[in-house]
């Protein structure tokens, strides 16, 4: 060991590589970020170039500055593999500036690059850029042992070659503290659950501890020990912070103190002398002193019971319906209670103040509102600051609720006197308030006692029950006074409001006394009626019902009377014996009335009378030459004599009509000769006894006589009116006269020739609406005066439908088949343009729809056509039979489509095809031809014989040779390519094929092409002239010939082969072994070469294992030493380098404090003895042949 120290002192330390500036990001990731920035810079350049193809000189200088800044920053970051020397940095900057200038001014490149020195420099620069690109991404190569793709960086930077690290720490200063956060703890009463009080240990893991407990009821002190086994079960550790937390289970209230603690070396841990007082959790509950139902103005009494360690602070919520008030009670404690919490002096060893106590607080409030009163506990805090918050859910003890009900009331709806019939009953309606059911007490005073008005006791007292939503009426039948005495509901007594009393009287039926006096006629003999006087008893108003009975009929009537004595007259209109019978009397109380029977008999002689019927106060219209008839109604004793007057232009003519025996008569006027206004007035009427009566002069009829009669005719210019089929058409009229008019017309095309009418036409240019075509005739006309005439020249009008549009195939466009409206057009080849001509009738534009049915899904086409003669394009893109079914047509008139039936059929002949069956690339050596069996085959489709046109193109010289092959009888043809005399790639394409039907197709698909590669003899040589390699090295070979190549080699005696598509092929040395190249061929084992003496040897990378490959932590005290054992795998002698770093969080290494190098280690195990704190790691290992990591790189362990 001493010799080793001396050796380390004498040997000069190896040159240490400066680590990257950013040490927390691994080198491959840093290289990837650097490449992304480089790509971003060039993206900006290309974007600017696209916007402005000719940048300004200032813009080019910005490009140069951007590249220079990038190269300098990358060199400053010291990224492994991206640390060019100063010379290379300057060279790279010049190269980037040259590229920038070349992009902007490319013309000078051709002249400048003609010299060989410049070409050599450019080739070296290209190699350098390629190497840099591979370093950015981490090169991917083929593994030499398995031929799989590997990243060579993953082998070169495989951290498994350096394993383990050793951490040396100094033991810290240890402490223990009970309840370090000064938390509050309390015990649940039910169920009994223990609480855990924490003890915090710093810098030492506890082994055992001791704590004390003082009972507050007895002040007795006991000690409790926790052993290692119990501590381990209740231990929580944070090894990074070197802290440990132990929870002490507490089951009983009292004062607790941590007395002692020891670590695993039985060393005392310093303890803080603080204590924790634990009590039962405080609790509170409400206790009500009465039921939950209360009335307004009642008192609500509740006791609040508190339990725990005083003094208490309680918060509760008082809710009146949804209105909430928060209430607080503070400092609640028993009388003469002494506690240090309240600032009073107690003995230090006396803890009786912390025992559990019960305090009762009375709460009183007045219910002044009908609502739900709720008291709900929010939280309670005891003297030790333990707080219990109530959840808000309604429990049995933390919430109490009272329902305050309104007091009921009762009153009568009316204080008016109530009437009742003898022997009957009535209802006194009540208004009740409160919550049912109600109990009502009523009193009754008889009629004689109520009239006296004294305060004597009621004759009768009744109790009545009422249910909610039921009738609230009192039934009474006796006269007297009824009064409400008291009221109560389901919860509360109430009060009686006014009106509270009512007088009931008994009402008798009504009666009448009738006196009648006959009424004599004036100037005529006999009587004309009766004057009736009645005296009434009862309740007004009265209704007296009577009937007038004659020989032929009976008339019923009544009189409405408002006074107890009343006189009225009865005067019949007819002659003869009359009987007046009074049979019913009603008053205001007896609605159904009282039957009576009083009769009066009389013979009546009334004065005669005459009036116009229905035309009274009306006007009549007529024309010259017409007469009118007027109906007159009579009353009295016939036969009658009627006198009337006709007044016209101040001339008055009087007419008399006699011997009118019936009660109605028609006056017929003579024809009117002159137009104007005539007035007919009834003057006098005389009956059979000679009794006459002058009639009312206002009862007259006015007759307007017009000279011209109305006319009617159709307004037409002699041509038929045309309209759309299915719609309606207005036939125009020409009317003269006075509106409104009524006309009659008919359709002569209708077999029944039924008359049609149009009433109440008010416009002289009115019309009649019809729906069917035909010849229409006017029959008659009538206006507001009289019937008119039809103008003969305008009597008739014709209405016709507009013709619907049609479609047909133009002559000579297709052949009509035996099926009606079914045509066939001549066949065409696939893809040949074709169309068919059609002829349309109607009014442009036309819209036609037709369905096309072919080999695929049917298609519905719709086209708009502006000319009556047009062509419709036919679909010839796909072969087969195509059917065109024309469905509908519409034009500018008939916009709704009209169904048509027309079908066109055409056969589209499929074009022939010619495709190569095999699409692979054919390979052959220069100067040879392919055997017939290996030659490509062509698949032909169509009608033989076929004609093929084939082009052969040399892709190097772009020379094209064309070959035409005729009369190919079969559908499969073997094509033998010509002999190729030059190396290169050739493409053979079928450009056209024609079959026996004359249809042809030009080929442009990939299936009609193939490639032929003409190769030279392949060869291979090494680019790196060395025979010994390490795992992670690259074995690079250069190939000659035409790609792709097949390389055959042996690895540890096992034969393998790989395919290369590029002239440079690289193997990755992924495992140790021997490699020999046997041969190289073109694909399909053609044109092979056999090299000599191409063997390589690959050695594995060495491995250093510290502390058996694990993370070992050693705790020592200052002045002690620790041994670190390092094992090696590889071929001795070994050389390694290790570092000591500062310890960060979770044992991760921080800043490197020192590095040391040890050389000439011939054994496979080595020991280091250290006395300093830190993290020891091997950072470099080398054996006889290989090292890890490679010189110039770093590795993160």
DSSP string, 50-88: HH-SS--HHHHHHHHHHHHHHHHHHHHHT-TT----HHH
CATH number at residue 722: 2.20.130.20
pLDDT in tens, 1023-1079: 877 778 898 888 888 988 778 889 899 988 888 888 888 888 888 888 898 889 889
What percent of the chain is predicted at pLDDT more than 70?
Answer: 90
In 175-311, DSSP assigns E strands to 175-178, 186-187, 195-202, 206-214, 221-226, 235-238, 243-250, 254-263, 270-271, 275-280, 283-288, 293-295, 299-308
d(CA 204, CA 215): 31
- Compute the average pLDDT of residues 1003-1030: 80
- Compute the average pLDDT of residues 355-362: 91
Q: How far is CA 683 from CA 100, 433, 657, 745, in A?
A: 132, 75, 12, 45
Q: What are the structure tokens assigned to 199, written together? A: 């003890």
* Long-range contacts at 333-342 (CB < 8 A, ≥ 24 apart): 333/359, 333/383, 334/310, 334/359, 337/310, 337/311, 339/310, 339/311, 339/383, 341/311, 341/383, 341/384, 342/311, 342/383
- Residue 344 counted as domain residue: no
Q: Would you say the C-alpha torsion 126, 130, 132, 136 has a positive or negative sign?
A: positive
Are both 948 and 1005 inside the same structural domain? yes
Beta carbons of 848 and 895 less than 8 angstroms apart: no
Are both 1037 and 1010 inside the same structural domain? no
pLDDT in tens, 739-797: 899 999 999 888 777 889 999 999 999 999 999 999 999 999 999 888 899 998 899 99
pLDDT recorded at residue 574: 78
- Residue 19 counted as domain residue: no
Beta carbons of 1104 and 160 less than 8 angstroms apart: no
**Pick from 363, 390, 405: which residue ends a domain?**
405
pLDDT recorded at residue 111: 47
d(CA 243, CA 657): 142
pLDDT recorded at residue 133: 46
**Pick from 981, 1015, 1049: which residue ends a domain?**
1015
- Residue 1 counted as domain residue: no
Are both 518 and 499 inside the same structural domain? no
Are both 1074 and 1009 inside the same structural domain? no
SS3 assignment, position 335: coil
In 605-675, DSSP assigns E strands to 609-612, 619-623, 629-635, 640-648, 651-660, 664-668
- Residue 1121 counted as domain residue: yes
- Residue 1110 counted as domain residue: yes
Strand partners, 837: 871
Half-sphere exposure of 748 (CA within 13 A, CB side): 10
Confidence tier at 395 by pLDDT (50, 70, 90) = low
pLDDT at 918 over 60: yes
* Long-range contacts at 744-750 (CB < 8 A, ≥ 24 apart): 744/778, 744/779, 744/780, 744/781, 745/776, 745/777, 745/778, 745/779, 746/776, 746/777, 746/779, 747/772, 747/774, 747/775, 747/776, 747/777, 748/774, 748/775, 748/776, 748/777, 749/773, 749/774, 749/775, 750/774
Confidence tier at 732 by pLDDT (50, 70, 90) = very high
SS3 assignment, position 720: coil
SS3 assignment, position 1147: helix
- Compute the average pLDDT of residues 242-254: 89
- Compute the average pLDDT of residues 449-473: 79
Range of the domain at 383: 283-334+350-405
> Number of folded domains in the chain?
11
Give residues with Cβ within 8 angstroms of 775, minimum separation 6: 747, 748, 749, 796, 797, 798
pLDDT at 1093 over 70: yes
pLDDT in tens, 278-300: 999 999 999 999 888 999 888 89
Are both 1046 and 1109 inside the same structural domain? no
Are both 861 and 761 inside the same structural domain? no
- Residue 1133 counted as domain residue: yes
pLDDT in tens, 476-501: 888 888 999 999 998 899 999 889 88
Residue in the block written with tokens 């003969």: 792
Confidence tier at 130 by pLDDT (50, 70, 90) = very low
Are both 1036 and 1011 inside the same structural domain? no
DSSP string, 458-480: PSEEEEEEE-TTS--EEEE-SSE
537-541, 635-639, 1170-1174: the lowest-pLDDT one: 635-639
CATH number at residue 961: 2.60.40.1220
d(CA 685, CA 612): 13
Tally the residues of the chain.
Answer: 1197
- Nearest of 185, 339, 312 to residue 253 by alpha carbon: 185
Between 1076 and 20, name the one with better pLDDT.
Answer: 1076
Q: What are the structure tokens assigned to 1050, written together? A: 């042996």
CATH number at residue 482: 2.60.40.2030
Between 131 and 150, name the one with better pLDDT.
Answer: 150
- Compute the average pLDDT of residues 894-904: 92
Confidence tier at 561 by pLDDT (50, 70, 90) = very high
- Compute the average pLDDT of residues 261-277: 83
Are both 595 and 636 inside the same structural domain? no
DSSP string, 667-713: EEPPPP-S-EEEEEEEEEEE-TTS-EEEPPTT-EEEEEEESSPPEEE
pLDDT recorded at residue 1193: 55
Highest mean pLDDT pick, 268-272, 360-364, 693-697? 360-364
- Compute the average pLDDT of residues 429-435: 89
pLDDT recorded at residue 838: 94
Taking the CA atoms of residue 168, residue 173, residue 177 and residue 181 in that order, the dihedral angle to the nearest 10 degrees is -70
pLDDT recorded at residue 1119: 66
Q: What are the structure tokens assigned to 518, written together? A: 């006959």
CATH number at residue 262: 2.60.40
Are both 287 and 396 inside the same structural domain? yes
Are both 391 and 419 inside the same structural domain? no
pLDDT recorded at residue 1194: 52
pLDDT recorded at residue 116: 44
What percent of the chain is predicted at pLDDT more than 90?
Answer: 29
**Pick from 604, 636, 654: which residue ends a domain?**
604
- Residue 290 counted as domain residue: yes
Are both 489 and 468 inside the same structural domain? yes
pLDDT recorded at residue 807: 94
Are both 1000 and 929 inside the same structural domain? yes
d(CA 673, CA 648): 12
Phi, psi (rounded to 5 degrees) for 118: -65, -40
pLDDT at 54 over 90: no
pLDDT at 805 over 90: yes
353-362, 796-805, 913-922: the lowest-pLDDT one: 913-922
DSSP β-ladder status, 741-747 and 774-782: antiparallel
pLDDT in tens, 579-633: 999 999 999 888 888 999 999 998 888 878 888 886 545 788 888 888 888 888 8
DSSP β-ladder status, 619-623 and 700-706: parallel
Mean pLDDT computed over every residue of the chain: 84
pLDDT in tens, 137-187: 456 787 888 777 888 777 777 888 898 888 887 766 678 899 998 899 999
């Amino acid at each position: 060991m001493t010799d080793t120290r001396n050796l380390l002192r004498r040997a000069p330390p190896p040159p240490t590589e400066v680590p990257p500036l950013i040490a927390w990001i691994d080198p491959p990731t840093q290289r990837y970020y650097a490449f992304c920035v480089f790509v971003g810079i060039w993206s900006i350049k290309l974007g600017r170039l696209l916007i402005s193809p000719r940048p300004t000189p200032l813009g080019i200088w910005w490009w140069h500055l951007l590249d220079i800044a990038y190269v300098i920053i990358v060199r400053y970051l010291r990224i492994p593999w991206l640390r060019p020397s100063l010379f290379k940095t300057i060279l790279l900057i010049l190269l980037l500036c040259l590229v920038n200038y070349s992009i902007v001014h490319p013309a000078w490149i051709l002249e400048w690059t003609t010299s060989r020195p410049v070409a050599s420099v450019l080739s070296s620069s290209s190699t350098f850029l390629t190497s840099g690109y591979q370093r950015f991404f981490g090169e991917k190569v083929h593994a030499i042992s398995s031929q799989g793709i590997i990243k060579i960086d993953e082998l070169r930077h495989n951290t498994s070659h350096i394993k383990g690290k050793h951490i040396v720490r100094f033991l810290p200063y240890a402490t223990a503290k009970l309840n370090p956060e000064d938390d509050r703890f309390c015990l649940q009463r039910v169920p009994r659950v223990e609480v855990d009080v924490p003890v915090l240990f710093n810098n030492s893991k506890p082994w055992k501890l001791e704590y004390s407990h003082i009972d507050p009821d007895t002040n007795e002190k006991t000690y409790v020990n926790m052993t290692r086994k119990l501590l381990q079960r209740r231990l929580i550790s944070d090894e990074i912070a070197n802290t440990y937390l132990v929870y002490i289970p507490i089951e009983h209230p009292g004062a607790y103190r941590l007395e002692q603690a020891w670590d695993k070396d039985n060393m005392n841990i310093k303890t803080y002398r603080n204590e924790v007082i634990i009590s039962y959790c405080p609790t509170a509950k409400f206790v009500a002193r009465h039921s939950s139902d209360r009335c307004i103005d009642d008192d609500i009494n509740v006791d609040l019971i508190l339990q725990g360690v005083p003094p208490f602070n309680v918060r509760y919520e008082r809710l009146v319906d949804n209105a909430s008030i928060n209430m607080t009670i503070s400092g609640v404690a028993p009388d003469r209670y002494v506690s240090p919490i309240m600032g009073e002096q107690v003995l230090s060893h006396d803890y009786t103040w912390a025992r559990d106590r019960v305090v009762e607080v009375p709460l009183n409030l007045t219910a002044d509102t009908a609502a739900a009163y709720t008291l709900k506990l929010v939280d309670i805090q005891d003297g030790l600051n333990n707080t219990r918050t109530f959840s808000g859910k309604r429990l049995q003890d933390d919430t109490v609720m009272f329902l305050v009900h309104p007091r009921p009331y009762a009153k009568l709806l009316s204080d008016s006197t109530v009437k009742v019939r003898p022997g009957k009953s009535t209802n006194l309606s009540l208004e009740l308030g409160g919550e049912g059911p109600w109990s009502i007490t009523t009193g009754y005073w008889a009629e004689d006692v109520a009239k006296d008005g004294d305060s004597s006791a009621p004759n009768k007292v009744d109790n009545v029950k009422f249910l909610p939503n039921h009738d609230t009426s009192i039934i009474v039948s006796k006269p007297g006074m009824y009064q409400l005495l008291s009221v109560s509901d389901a919860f509360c007594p109430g009060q009686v409001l006014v009106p509270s009393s009512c007088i009931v009287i008994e009402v008798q039926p009504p009666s009448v006394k009738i006196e009648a006096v006959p009424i004599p006629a004036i100037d005529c003999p006999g009587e004309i009626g009766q004057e009736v006087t009645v005296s009434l008893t009862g309740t007004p108003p009265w209704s007296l019902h009577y009937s007038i009975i004659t020989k032929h009929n009976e008339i019923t009537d009544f009189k409405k009377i408002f006074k107890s004595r009343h006189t009225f007259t009865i005067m019949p209109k007819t002659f003869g014996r009359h009987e007046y019978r009074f049979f019913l009397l009603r008053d205001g109380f007896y609605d159904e009335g009282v039957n009576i029977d009083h009769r009066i008999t009389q013979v009546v002689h009334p004065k005669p009378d005459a009036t116009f019927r229905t035309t009274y106060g009306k006007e009549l219209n007529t024309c010259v030459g017409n007469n009118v008839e007027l109906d007159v109604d009579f009353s009295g004793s016939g036969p009658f004599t009627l006198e009337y007057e006709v007044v016209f232009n101040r001339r008055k003519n009087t007419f008399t009509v006699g011997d009118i025996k019936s009660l109605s008569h028609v006056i017929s006027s003579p024809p009117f000769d002159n137009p104007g206004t005539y007035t007919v007035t009834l003057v006098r009427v005389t009956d059979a006894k000679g009794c006459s009566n002058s009639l009312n002069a206002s009862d007259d009829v006015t007759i307007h006589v017009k000279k011209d009669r109305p006319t009617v005719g159709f307004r037409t210019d002699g041509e038929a009116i045309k309209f759309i089929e299915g719609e309606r058409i207005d036939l125009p009229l020409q009317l003269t006269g006075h509106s409104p008019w009524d006309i009659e017309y008919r359709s002569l095309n209708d077999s029944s020739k039924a008359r049609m009418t149009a009433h109440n036409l008010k416009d002289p240019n009115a019309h009649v609406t019809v729906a069917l075509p035909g010849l229409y005739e006017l029959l008659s006309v009538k206006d507001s005066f009289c019937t008119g005439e039809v103008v003969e020249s305008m009597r008739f009008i014709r209405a016709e439908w507009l013709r619907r549009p049609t479609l047909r195939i133009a002559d000579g466009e297709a052949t009509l088949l035996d099926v009606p409206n079914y045509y066939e057009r001549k066949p065409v080849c696939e893809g040949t343009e074709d169309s068919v001509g059609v002829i349309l009738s109607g009014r442009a534009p036309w819209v036609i729809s037709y369905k096309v049915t072919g080999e695929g899904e049917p298609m519905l086409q719709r086209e708009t056509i502006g000319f009556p003669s047009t062509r419709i394009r036919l679909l010839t893109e796909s072969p087969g039979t195509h059917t065109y079914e024309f469905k509908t047509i519409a034009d500018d008139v008939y916009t709704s489509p009209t169904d048509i039936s027309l079908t066109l059929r055409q056969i589209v002949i499929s074009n022939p095809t010619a495709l190569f069956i095999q699409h692979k690339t054919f390979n052959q050596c220069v100067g040879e031809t392919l055997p017939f069996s290996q030659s490509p085959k062509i698949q032909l489709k169509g009608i033989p014989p076929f004609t093929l046109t084939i082009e052969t193109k040399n892709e190097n010289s772009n020379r094209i040779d064309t070959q035409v092959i005729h009369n190919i009888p079969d559908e499969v043809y073997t094509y033998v390519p010509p002999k190729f005399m030059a190396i290169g790639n050739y493409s053979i394409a079928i450009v056209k094929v024609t079959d026996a039907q004359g249809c042809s197709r030009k080929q442009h698909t990939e299936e009609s092409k193939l490639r032929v590669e003409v190769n030279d003899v392949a060869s291979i040589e090494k680019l790196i002239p060395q025979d010994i390699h390490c795992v992670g090295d690259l074995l690079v070979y250069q190939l000659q010939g035409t790609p792709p190549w097949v390389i055959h080699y042996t690895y540890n005696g096992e034969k393998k082969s790989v395919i290369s598509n590029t002239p440079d092929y690289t193997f990755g040395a992924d495992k140790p072994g021997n490699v020999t190249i046997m041969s190289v061929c073109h694909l399909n084992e053609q044109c092979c070469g056999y090299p000599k003496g191409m063997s390589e040897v690959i050695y594995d990378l060495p491995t250093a294992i510290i502390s058996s490959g694990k993370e070992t932590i050693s705790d020592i005290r200052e002045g002690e030493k620790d041994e670190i054992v390092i094992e090696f795998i590889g071929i001795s002698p070994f050389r390694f380098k290790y570092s000591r770093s500062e310890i960060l969080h979770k044992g991760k290494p921080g800043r490197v404090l020192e590095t040391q190098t040890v050389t000439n280690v011939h054994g496979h195990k080595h020991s280091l003895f250290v006395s300093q704190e830190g993290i020891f790691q091997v950072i470099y290992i080398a054996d006889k042949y290989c090292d890890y990591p490679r010189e110039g790189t770093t590795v993160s362990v």
